[in-house]
Amino acid sequence: MKPALPRLCFLTGTLNAVAGAERMTATMANALAGKGYAVTILSLWDAASCFPLHPAVRHEALFASRPSFKRAYAATVAGIRRHLRAHKTDVLVQVDPMLAFFALPAALGLGVRHVAWEHCHFDKDLGKPARRLARRLAARFCEAVVVLTERDRRRWLEALRPRSAVVCIPNPLPFSMPAQAAPRTGRTVLAVGRLVTAKGFDVLLRAWAEVAPQAPGWRLTIAGEGEERAALEALRDELGLGDSVTLPGIYEDVTMAYSQASIFCLSSRYEGFGLVLIEAMAFGLPIVSTDCETGPRELLEPGCDALMVPVDQPTELARALGHLIGHPGEATALGKTAREKARTYSPEQLIGQWEALMRQGRSPRGGQ
């Protein structure tokens, strides 16, 4: 008789936000549910989800809206504990090491295995110094820490000397591998991401101001939403780019944006992984990317599947974009190589690594 599969819970802040960690939470929960695992997602607030969930995935939330966690700390810990007991959870995946502050005390004495899932890279605390302490707690008290790149894995090991296993499992492509590459018959450069300072879209706009006069008929599309929208729209207008730059917001189906693009650009100042790169590569788009820490440096090979430029250098970014626009044969070759590499990030390739992590250690409740 086969041992019972472990019961899984993904603990996250919210699923009602279009961001990489939230998207990956839904993607991984869906994939594991499809494999027969009992999966719950517990959001700290908001029971809505921006992403479709497998019918077998149960999604609950502790609070209707985001509370003050200083005032609601005890209620949060108690709520997580109730959820773990009610669903007889075997493995708790914290979709951010910061959640260790709640999850570790909530699971005391329950025999729950802890896995921390890091989506940022080690040298960024996202303006929260407490993140450094949370990482130390995860490194000491979680059974495993999952990071997205080998570079980040090395940083965890050298900086914290963790008791926990530190495992590199890249993010998978969140949709099926497209049957065909994008036709690339249009004249669109695409960028995708939250409209925040870290994504460097201000740098991209300044670069485009140098490209546009030399590339008549070409357009730049920046797909996403965020706090920098007003500033980016103002900069676009100040640079006189209103006729060649659009900011359409969030695509209901982002694959439509990739399928209509000819070149993809990532202008980030830093990345934890850079999932949009894998998505663009799956559509065979040639890429221009900043050479920022962790993700792009590990995912891309300069001159083979992408052109890479220094961070915060609009003229260098403009030069690379102009080069691909002016050399379509080279752009096609880069895109072809990129598409082949994207196949290695399919969910089918990576779900087995998560399954191995979920099944290791003690037998789940009911398993012998």
Residue 181 lies in a domain: no
Instruction: Give me the pLDDT at residue 368, please.
Output: 25
Indicate whether 276 and 158 sit together in one domain: no
Domain, as residue range, for 287: 188-345
Instruction: Give me the pLDDT at residue 176, please.
Output: 87
Indicate whether 19 and 77 sit together in one domain: yes
Per the structure, how many domains does the chain have? 2
Burial of 73 by CB count in 10 Å (0-12 exposed, 13-18 middle, 19+ buried)?
middle
Higher pLDDT, 347 or 351: 351
Residue 293 has pLDDT above 90, yes or no: no
Extended beta strands in 73-177, E state: 91-94, 113-117, 144-147, 165-168
Indicate whether 201 and 158 sit together in one domain: no
Instruction: Give me the pLDDT at residue 196, please.
Output: 95
Helices 314-326 and 328-342: angle between axes, nearest 10 degrees? 100
Higher pLDDT, 190 or 360: 190
Instruction: Give me the pLDDT at residue 19, please.
Output: 81
* Token pair in block for residue 198: 């870290």
pLDDT (mean) for 60-79: 96
Indicate whether 167 and 252 sit together in one domain: no
pLDDT (mean) for 120-144: 89
Instruction: Give me the pLDDT at residue 366, please.
Output: 33
Nearest to 277 by CA among 351, 202, 191: 191
Task: State the Cα angle at 318 between 313 and 323, rounded to 5°.
Answer: 130
Tell me how crowded residue 129 is: count the other CB atoms within 10 A of its CB: 8
CATH classification at residue 114: 3.40.50.2000
Q: What is the pLDDT of residues 8-46, one digit of tens each?
A: 999 999 999 888 889 999 999 999 999 999 999 999 999
SS3 state of residue 102: helix
Q: Tokens 């939230």 map to which residue?
A: 22
Indicate whether 204 and 281 sit together in one domain: yes
Q: What pTM does this model have? A: 0.86
Nearest to 115 by CA among 32, 173, 53, 16: 32
Q: What is the pLDDT of residues 216-251, one digit of tens each?
A: 999 999 999 999 999 999 999 999 999 999 999 999
- Residue 91 backbone phi and psi in degrees, to 5: -130, 125
SS3 state of residue 12: strand
Instruction: Give me the pLDDT at residue 252, please.
Output: 85
Indicate whether 213 and 320 sit together in one domain: yes
Residue 302 lies in a domain: yes
Indicate whether 204 and 331 sit together in one domain: yes
Across the chain, mean pLDDT equals: 93
